[in-house]
Amino acid sequence: MNPIIRSKVEAELQAFVGADAYIHSEATSFVFVRNFKVKVTHAFIAGDGPFRAAIRFDGHGWLRMEALTHYEIDANGRLLLAGYDDRGRMNVALHIGKEPFPE
């Protein structure tokens, strides 16, 4: 994974606006969602690092993840965002793609 470059991640997030997407999201010990299908209506990234990402879906709900530090685009075109602490441990993840994630 690469350190987040806000402009690049913003452009990748915007590619999902108006589309059906599948979300995988987790935060250490308290949140885990996989293959949550939504229609993305808005998508943002904010901050100077660590970053916050927010996805609005179906016009009614939001998913917001904080403390994101790294990203990559996988071979299937999915945007993978993660937040690592100062010891290299992943604390949060937000993945979004146009196809379901493997079970």
Question: Is 67 part of any domain?
Answer: yes
Q: 27: domain range?
A: 2-97
Number of structural domains, the chain?
A: 1
Question: Is 69 part of any domain?
Answer: yes
Question: Is 102 part of any domain?
Answer: no
d(CA 72, CA 88): 16
Question: What pTM does this model have?
Answer: 0.92
Question: Is 54 part of any domain?
Answer: yes
Question: Is 103 part of any domain?
Answer: no
Mind listing the pLDDT tens digit for each residue in 32-52? 889 999 999 999 999 999 999
CATH number at residue 75: 2.70.180.10
The token duo for 44 is 């943002």
Which residues of the chain fall below pLDDT 50?
A: none
Task: Give φ, ψ of 8 to 5 degrees.
Answer: -70, -45
